[in-house]
Structure 1
Amino acid sequence: MRNLKKLCLQGLGIAALAAGMSSAFAADKPELKIGYVNGWDDSVAVSHVAAEILQTKLGYPVKLQAVEPAIMWQGVARGDLDVTLSAWLPATHGEYFEKLKDKVVVLGTNYDGAKIGLIVPDYVKAKTIEDLNTYSKDFDGKITGIDAGAGVMRRTEEAIKEYQLSEMKLMPSSGPAMATALTRAEKDKEAIVVTGWIPHWMFAKWNLRFLEDPKKVFGDDEHVDTVANPGLEAKAPDASAFLTNISWRGEEVGAVMLAIREGAKPEQAAKDWIAKNPERVAQWLE
């Protein structure tokens, strides 16, 4: 019995030591702050997936902060935020980048082929932005927008001037409010035009298209980049390497966005996707 008791005590001691070492390991890792755009589904998805990997695979405590785009860029530049995976370049966040490019580091592109513009259901008659004047009554003279000050909103204001959309007015709301309005319109097959972007879960749910923009007010296709504070490399080199590597396709980010849209909490949607895609995650951690 003594030997058994001794073995048990030794076992407990080893377990306690292991737990202590694990705690010490975690304690040695600095907290990383990730900024993402409040209300942008793709931003929520990629940020939560990255945070989950940083926490469970690399041992970093992570704090996610939902902010407006301008605050997000300023936060990364100042070091209040370590990184964002939600930098839309070269157009949408181009103004922020030009002002702060000497104070941030672009680690890489995590999504290629992104696009912003004015979006309509496929059953709508309008084909181009200029057509909005012709069919203004179908839309009740309004463009359903998102948050005032967002890049796509500023571009839409420019489009109203460039295309002389005297019959149309831009109505600010939010990402979720825009999606709700689109849901209602789709249900009754009513005409609606919204400010939007891809990647977005709504393209997986409905047949949508961008209104043609021959004047290129909204620019060409973009890319979503991972942008960090210059101090991240020294602060967390393995985290910086992972964040440089992370990139995914539309169907991958779309799967996470749809899961969240259908009721899963962002943290759980991220965990589920990571569990189903171990090879992809392993590539990012190489």
Structure 2
Amino acid sequence: MGDERGTLKKALVGLTILGSALVFSACGGSGGGGAQGSGGEPVNFGTVDWPEAIAKTNVSATMVEALGHETEIQQLSVPVIFKGLETGDLDLFVEAWFPTMQTNMEQVDGEEVRSVTTNLPEATFSVAVNREACDAGVTSHEDLDRFKEEFNGTIYGIEPGNDGNQVVIDMIKNDTYGLGDWEIVESSTNGMLSEVDRAIEDGEWVAFTGWEPHWMGQRYDMCLLEDPEEAWGGPSHVETLANADFVEDNPEINQLFEQMKVDKEIQGNWIDQIDNSGKEPEQIATEWLQENPEITDRWLEGVEAADGTPGPEALSTYLEEQASN
């Protein structure tokens, strides 16, 4: 495993130099005694460039800081996150969508990557179309190819390496639903939604990877398509994943994440704040935690900070300190 850690770290450094796939955000953990994670190193979160992942990761990191541990957030592609969890270069990933990430899970050692909990039990990931297409009869993946010309044979996706993009790529490769001669255009969430905006403004039909919870469901009059062949693997949910050694070495942090569960309303609010408030993720996280002690008290029940302070008390003190700065 030592060689794997060295290889991955070299890869991460290379990505940093390129400036294309990795963002570091190191934070000090002044709460709960100022300790670090097991082994004296920061607690390392992997995240992806999705608003829900950015928000949930920052809320998570803020609570871990309040318990007295330094944190670091690394923005990476999904495959690199799974590899980092396997090797121990990353400790936690709080936005693992299943079943679409099952392929990623199968590519790492299941003894080294552990599912801590299902933190969002109900979610949807699918191809979406705008209302005009839906009203014309496009309500299922089975309907897409009948209207290939209207869609220009194109499905818009998000960042390369994303599990949803891979589902579409596999459908094209396997000619599932007759999509063998279609193409996917990969970019980013914002890039994809810009194409949706343009198409709707021009009165065109558009197909894209869509999911809920997300504010796109409120912004656009759209339909998430039925998937009778279960190319997307069935109903979605979101899990918290952790490196197995980290779980064993950090029982208090593990207990927090076992108990940290959200619903569509909470996650939808976070997404809207990230995309539309103009605030930094750290501020969004801090303000939400200040406003929702009844939720965070449940998440921190029975959890102690590094100095033995009860978790809810440690978070309250930490947030008061942040507010006074």
Does the alignment reach a TM-score above 0.5?
Answer: yes
Q: 1:127 to 1:52 in 2, by over 3 A?
A: same
Q: 1:195 aligns with which of 203, 209, 214?
A: 209
**Identity of counterpart residues, as a percentage?**
29
What is the rounded CA distance, in whole Å, between the counterparts of 1:103 and 1:28 in structure 2? 22
Q: 1:275 to 1:207 in 2, by over 3 A?
A: farther
**Could you give the per-residue CA deviations for residues 212-239 of structure 1, whole angstroms, max 9, x where no partner exists?**
2111111211211111111223432211
Q: 1:80 to 1:28 in 2, by over 3 A?
A: closer
5+ residue gaps in structure 2?
1-29, 302-325
Q: Is the 8 A contact 2:158 2:165 kept in 1?
A: yes
What's the C-alpha RMSD, in Å, of the aligned pairs? 1.9
Q: State the partner residue of 1:284.
A: 299
2:259 corresponds to which letter in structure 1? N
What is the rounded CA distance, in whole Å, between the counterparts of 2:43 and 2:285 in structure 1? 18
5+ residue gaps in structure 1?
1-21
**TM (normalized to structure 2)?**
0.75
Which runs of structure 2 are paired with 1:267-282 in the superposition (5 Å)?
267-282=282-297
Q: State the partner residue of 2:75.
A: 66
Aligned length: 262
**TM (normalized to structure 1)?**
0.85
Q: State the partner residue of 1:5.
A: none
Shift of 1:147: 2.0
2:192 corresponds to which letter in structure 1? M
Q: State the partner residue of 2:195.
A: 181
| 3-state SS in 2 of match to 1:63 | strand
Q: State the partner residue of 1:118.
A: 127
Shift of 1:84: 0.6
> Does 2:65 align with 1:55?
yes
What is the rounded CA distance, in whole Å, between the counterparts of 2:233 and 2:31 in structure 1? 49
Which runs of structure 2 are paired with 1:27-66 in the superposition (5 Å)?
27=35, 29=37, 30=40, 31-37=42-48, 39-56=49-66, 58-66=67-75
Larger of the two Rg values belongs to structure: 1
Shift of 1:195: 1.4
Q: Is the 8 A contact 2:31 2:68 kept in 1?
A: no
Shift of 1:167: 5.3
> Does 2:75 align with 1:92?
no
Q: State the partner residue of 2:225.
A: 211
Shift of 1:199: 2.5
Q: Is the 8 A contact 1:133 1:166 kept in 2?
A: no
Q: State the partner residue of 1:82.
A: 91
| 3-state SS in 1 of match to 2:230 | coil
Q: State the partner residue of 2:236.
A: 222
| 3-state SS in 2 of match to 1:163 | helix
Q: Is the 8 A contact 2:111 2:244 kept in 1?
A: no
